[in-house]
A and B are shown apart, each in its own frame.
Chain A
């Protein structure tokens, strides 16, 4: 079955450490996205990539970094510069081009103490 895999489901880190969240898709989609979800805040776009080796900042990119070296992979690094990193992180993909719906992974819940 095609889909998006985010791992791990739960992640715990100490303050000051960088952490990388994995996102892999086998849908052959060109575009991939990272969203952050906080209670009562909806989803906010962190970074997105429309093609391999290219990505753009979203609305809240500060303290985050990404890479897109392969079409199927779009890892997100939460750096120590992110002031409030504890959140639910969602990865999504779409075919790109026409306004196709986003396909979401099941998320990674990151807790930083």
Chain B
């Protein structure tokens, strides 16, 4: 079975500061990794994903995440945050075990609060 640990439940930062949201996973097989964002009272939206290839993946709004197999991590970073980045962020993993069953396991989420 796989599992995901998001090490910080809340991360408060000031506007224009850099931020890192940490995510570690455990799995006995290779994995696919995702970051989702949830704004208040809404569903989740995909932010970025790692399936294969380059270990550094980027989103269109300035976030990036790096897959580190040796440290089993997939931390999310942004060099300069905006007020509008305030949301809850979820890391998710699914096993690369073939077939068509790609159930996601989610972390408990990190609430990013950007203050002026």
Interface residues of A (CB under 8 A from B): 4, 6, 35, 40-45, 48, 50, 58, 90, 92, 94, 96-102, 104-107, 109
Contacts and interface: CB of A to CB of B under 8 A. Distances in A.
A89 to B, nearest CB: 10
Contacts of A102: 36, 44, 46, 104
- Counting from the closest, the 6 A-B pairs by CB-CB distance are A104-B43, A42-B108, A101-B46, A43-B106, A99-B102, A42-B106
Interface of B: 6, 9, 32, 34, 36, 41-46, 49, 51, 90, 94, 96, 100-104, 106-109
Given A40-B9, A101-B46, A102-B104, 12 more contacts: A35-B106, A42-B90, A42-B107, A42-B109, A43-B90, A45-B103, A48-B103, A58-B103, A92-B44, A99-B94, A102-B36, A102-B44
A37 B105 CA distance: 13
Contact of A99 (B41, B51, B106, B108): B51
A104 B45 CA distance: 7
Given A43-B90, A99-B102, A90 B43 contact: yes
B95 to A, nearest CB: 9
Mostly, the B contact residues are loop
Contacts of A109: 41
A30 B98 CA distance: 17
Nearest to B1: A59
A44 B42 CA distance: 16
Contacts of A6: 43
Contacts of B42: 106-107
B11 to A, nearest CB: 14
14 contacts: A4-B43, A40-B109, A41-B108, A42-B106, A42-B107, A43-B106, A50-B100, A58-B103, A90-B44, A99-B32, A101-B46, A102-B36, A104-B45, A107-B41
B68 to A, nearest CB: 19
Contacts of A104: 43-45
